[in-house]
């Protein structure tokens, strides 16, 4: 055995070239000078000249717009070296600062000729097991626009080498990939946090790595996924005068090519976001993203005129009605969430040409006709907690919170056995209990069903009140997905014996836009008080490029005191002679004597 105290360590993937095409998912291989095979101390040399950054105190990347990224060592860098069987030592840089090749000293650590050694960078006391090295891409931070030092603390590298009398030559591989985001934002706006939020996928943030693996060392590791990758920007980094904020992120290799991302920038009082295509992030590659982040307050005018219409019980009696859909003429299918099967009951009532509900009698009211079809009354299925309903191709489709299903029924209320494929992250166990698929709608013009969960998914906890609007195609498979953020609650749940807050209904317009119903109701037992508010917002998932859909208020309906209504269902109804379309809302009593069964007609044009 010989005691060798110096190692030559070089980066083999020293240059990452950006593709010339915008948002390309593939980088170009670098040109390198191949070392002489017989010379174990030969250095790998970069061809592309580096662009220096001042004030670096640890390893960083340098960037050239045409050639991409290149790695350079910095004074004080440390790397861990593992023996072939046992032993782990810290090696400290002794020469090579500012270059891609450097020598490191292990302070007397013994190397045995002919044995294989493994190295990992950066050195960490916790990385004592070469087959289970902990890494994390979480908690990234930035100190300035285009800061490349901070994110590259997440630049993990690994290598192996056979020791000789001359030492050991490690040609490193980069474990992660690098993403550069150029976000168009108002100049001088201070940005505090930036989040990357995939629509479907979860981001690998922590993992263990096997440095002895020849290929894909993370594939053998246990990973901890998360719905967002967040980066903090201290007390706020002002957007430069040119209106472009440049941010870098290091990320674990992961294929997002069939997904899309929301990039969300927060400045405390406002949120700016953009929607971009996801990429297949490969280890040792760099990727460009350029997007204009839009303010949540910049939604275009909806161009819809709203006129209030009828609102009354209309003889509906007692019930717990959760959803409604128009069948044509005077007929509607309504979901009663305590009925058997799909909970489908049939309503019949007349909407006059002025938007009122009337049976033509002098009292001006209509006794709504209610019938329970045979398929509902004869079903042996109970306790499904059915909540949403939509009509398509002469069949009815009902969402059930008990098992987060969407099932098909015929018009008699009998189940056909067909159902939707529900995304895994929206299944039972992934949602807040009793806050699943409450809203449901369908548009024949766009050939899409839409739903969302009443409360945010359990994984969506980094951005408050964040919901995922989920579409399905006519084959009942998941399709597009978008992010939506509810308003801050108007009331507090403190002291309430009944409190509901969330998205309770949706209505799909023929032009692709969606009307979203945000509902909040608070009931206090003593002294008995009741407060409720329903807000109708319009979003445009077809044309909006924001990462979180920008919403525009359509109407606010206050339903307080004796007129309290807990609106849970909503659908489009008939078109009136003036071109107005009826939007019909129905209330659920939640079993409370203070909440009324109400039909509300709103005219939109």
Q: Tell whether the model's pLDDT for residue 30 goes beyond 80.
A: no
With CA atoms as reference, report the closest residue to 459 among 429, 493, 422, 497: 429
Q: How confident is the model at residue 71 (pLDDT cuts 50, 70, 90)?
A: confident
pLDDT at 49: 23
Q: How confident is the model at residue 335 (pLDDT cuts 50, 70, 90)?
A: very high
pLDDT given at position 238: 97
Say yes or no to pLDDT of 106 above 90. Answer: no
With 80 as the cut, is the pLDDT of residue 279 above it?
yes
**Higher-scoring residue by pLDDT: 18, 455:** 455
Q: Is 511 left (phi over 0), alpha (psi -120 to 50) or beta?
A: alpha
Per-residue pLDDT, averaged over 11-19, amounts to 29
Output 107 or 456, whichever has higher pLDDT.
456
pLDDT tens, position by position, 322-331? 999 999 999 9
* Helix (H), strand (E) at residue 288: strand 286-292
**pLDDT above 50 for 29:** no
**Interatomic CA distance for residues 521 and 559, integer angstroms:** 9
Q: Quote the CA–CA distance of 521 and 467 in Å, as a whole number.
A: 19
Cα 180 to the center of its chain, rounded Å: 19
The pLDDT of residue 25 is above 60: no
pLDDT surpasses 60 at 368: yes
According to DSSP, the residues that pair with 295 across neighbouring strands are 272
Q: Residue 98 CB: number of other CB atoms within 10 A?
A: 13
Domains of the chain: 6-295 (no CATH), 306-604 (2.115.10)
Q: For the residues 201-222, what does the mean pLDDT come to?
A: 86
CA separation, residue 595 to residues 82, 492, 505, 525, 598 (Å): 69, 18, 18, 13, 9
The overall average pLDDT reported for the chain is: 84
Kindly report which listed range (1-5, 45-49, 227-231, 550-554) carries the lowest average pLDDT score: 45-49
CB 221, CB 207: distance < 8 Å = yes
pLDDT in tens, 336-345: 999 999 999 9
Largest CA-CA distance found in the chain, in angstroms, rounded: 108
Which of 327, 358, 369, 352 shows the shortest CA–CA distance to 603? 352
Q: Do 587 and 568 meet the contact criterion of CB atoms below 8 Å apart?
A: yes
pTM for the whole structure: 0.87
Query: Is 6's pLDDT higher than 60?
Result: no
**Structure confidence at residue 5 as a pLDDT band (50, 70, 90):** very low
Structure confidence by residue, pLDDT tens digits, 125-163: 888 889 889 999 998 999 999 987 787 788 888 888 888
Residue 297 confidence (pLDDT) above 50: yes
The pLDDT assigned to 311 comes to 78
Average pLDDT over residues 167-184: 87
Between 352 and 388, the higher pLDDT residue: 388
- DSSP label of 421: -
Q: Which residue has the higher pLDDT, 577 or 462?
A: 577
Cβ-contact 197, 250 below 8 angstroms: no
* Cis-peptide into 122, omega within 30 deg: yes
């Amino acid at each position: 055995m010989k005691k060798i105290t110096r190692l030559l360590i070089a980066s083999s993937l020293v240059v990452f070239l950006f593709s010339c095409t915008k948002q390309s998912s593939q980088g170009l291989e670098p040109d390198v000078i191949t070392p002489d095979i017989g010379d174990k101390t030969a250095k790998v040399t970069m061809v592309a000249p580096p662009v220096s950054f001042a004030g670096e105190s640890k390893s960083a990347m340098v960037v050239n717009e045409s050639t991409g990224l290149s790695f350079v060592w910095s004074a004080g860098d440390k790397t861990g070296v593992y023996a072939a069987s046992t032993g782990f030592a810290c090696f400290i840089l002794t020469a090579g600062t500012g270059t891609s090749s450097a020598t490191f000293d292990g302070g007397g650590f013994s190397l045995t000729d002919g044995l294989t050694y493994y190295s990992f960078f950066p050195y960490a006391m916790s990385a004592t097991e070469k087959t289970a090295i902990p890494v994390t891409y979480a908690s990234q931070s930035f100190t300035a626009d285009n800061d490349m030092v901070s994110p590259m603390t997440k630049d993990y590298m690994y290598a192996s080498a056979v020791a000789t009398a001359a030492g050991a030559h490690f040609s490193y591989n980069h474990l992660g990939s690098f993403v550069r985001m150029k976000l168009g934002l108002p100049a001088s706006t201070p940005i505090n946090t930036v989040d990357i939020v995939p629509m479907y996928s979860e981001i690998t943030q922590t993992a263990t790595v096997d440095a002895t693996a020849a290929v894909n060392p993370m594939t053998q590791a246990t990973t901890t996924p998360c719905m967002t990758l967040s980066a903090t920007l201290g007390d706020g980094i002002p957007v430069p005068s040119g209106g472009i904020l440049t941010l870098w992120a290091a990320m674990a290799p992961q294929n997002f090519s069939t997904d899309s991302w929301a990039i969300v920038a927060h400045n405390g009082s406002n949120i700016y976001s953009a929607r971009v295509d996801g990429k297949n992030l490969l280890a040792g590659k760099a990727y460009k993203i350029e997007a204009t982040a839009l303010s949540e307050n910049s939604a275009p005018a909806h161009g819809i005129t709203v006129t209030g219409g009828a609102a009354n019980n209309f003889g509906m009696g007692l019930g717990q009605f959760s959803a409604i859909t128009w069948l044509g003429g005077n007929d509607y299918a309504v979901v009663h969430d305590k009925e058997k099967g799909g909970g489908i009951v049939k309503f019949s009532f007349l909407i006059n040409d002025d938007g009122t509900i009337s049976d033509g009698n002098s009292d001006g009211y209509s006794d709504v006709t209610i019938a329970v079809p045979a398929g509902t009354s004869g079903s042996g299925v109970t306790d499904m907690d059915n909540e949403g309903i939509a009509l398509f191709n002469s069949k009815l489709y009902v969402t059930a919170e008990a098992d987060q299903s969407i099932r098909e029924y015929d018009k008699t209320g009998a189940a056909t056995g067909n159902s939707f494929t529900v995304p895994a992250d929206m299944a039972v166990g992934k949602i807040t209990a009793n806050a699943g698929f409450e809203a449901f709608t369908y548009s024949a013009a766009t050939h899409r069903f839409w739903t969302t969960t009443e409360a945010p998914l359990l994984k969506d906890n980094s951005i408050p009140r964040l919901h995922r609007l989920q579409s399905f195609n006519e084959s009942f498979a998941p399709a597009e997905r978008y992010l939506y953020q509810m308003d801050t609650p108007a009331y507090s749940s403190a002291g309430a014996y009944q409190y509901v807050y969330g998205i309770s209904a949706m209505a799909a317009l023929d032009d692709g836009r969606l009307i979203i119903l945000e509902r909040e109701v608070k009931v206090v037992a003593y002294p008995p008080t009741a407060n409720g508010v329903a807000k109708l917002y319009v979003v445009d998932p077809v044309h909006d490029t924001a990462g979180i859909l920008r919403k525009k208020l359509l109407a606010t309906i206050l339903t307080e005191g004796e007129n309290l209504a807990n609106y849970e269902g909503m659908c489009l109804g008939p078109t009136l002679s003036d071109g107005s379309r009826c939007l019909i809302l129905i209330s659920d009593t939640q079993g409370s004597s203070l909440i009324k069964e109400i039909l509300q007609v709103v005219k939109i044009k």
